[in-house]
């Protein structure tokens, strides 16, 4: 863990020196490449093993992956599921129409209101993605 923090600190310092013009881009690149070589070269013999290992893992996981995909396909074919998806989509659409009308009532043109609504949707998607990434990072940190 200490080496990882030290290495990150060195890289952060290098970036700062580059940004403040204390080192040139060429010096920055040479130093980063040197750091990489010094810290990764000892693990380089693992690279061929990793590709073989990943192929083996893929082969082992194939039956489980196929079973999971079959479940997804069956679920998507299920009429109850399709009805739930349709209801959810209708509710989302109704909510968005209400938001659009509220923006227009606040004085925005339809085009401006639509732009704001699209930005809202994009922000919600980005926030969900951000939360999922944070959860993923925190769970992987707790496993370390």
Q: 21-32 pLDDT, tens per residue?
A: 999 999 989 988
Ordered by start, the domain boundaries in the chain are: 78-144
Can you tell me the distance from the alpha carbon of 129 to that of 139, in angstroms, rounded to the nearest whole number? 15
Percent of the chain with pLDDT over 70: 90
Predicted pLDDT at 121: 86
Task: Tell me the pLDDT band of 120, cut-offs 50, 70 and 90.
Answer: confident
Q: 56-108 pLDDT, tens per residue?
A: 999 999 999 999 999 999 999 999 999 999 999 999 999 999 999 999 999 99
- The DSSP code sequence of 66-102 is HHHHHHHHHHHH-HHHHHHHHHHHHHHHHHHHHHHHH
**Tokens matching residue 10:** 């060195």
Helix ranges (H only) for 20-78 are 25-40, 46-77
């Amino acid at each position: 863990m200490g080496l990882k923090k030290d290495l990150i600190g060195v890289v952060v310092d290098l970036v700062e020196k580059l940004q403040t013009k204390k080192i040139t881009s060429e010096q920055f690149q040479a130093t980063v490449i040197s750091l990489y070589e010094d810290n990764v070269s000892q693990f380089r013999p693992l690279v061929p093993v990793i590709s073989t290992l990943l192929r083996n893992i893929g082969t082992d996981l194939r039956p489980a992956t196929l079973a999971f995909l079959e479940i997804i396909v069956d679920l998507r074919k299920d009429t109850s599921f399709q009805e739930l998806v349709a209801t959810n989509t209708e509710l989302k659409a109704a909510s968005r129409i209400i938001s659009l009308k509220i923006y227009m009532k606040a004085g925005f043109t339809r085009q401006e209101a639509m732009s704001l609504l699209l930005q809202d949707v994009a922000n919600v998607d980005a926030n969900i993605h951000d939360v999922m990434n944070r959860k993923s990072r925190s769970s992987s940190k707790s496993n370390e």
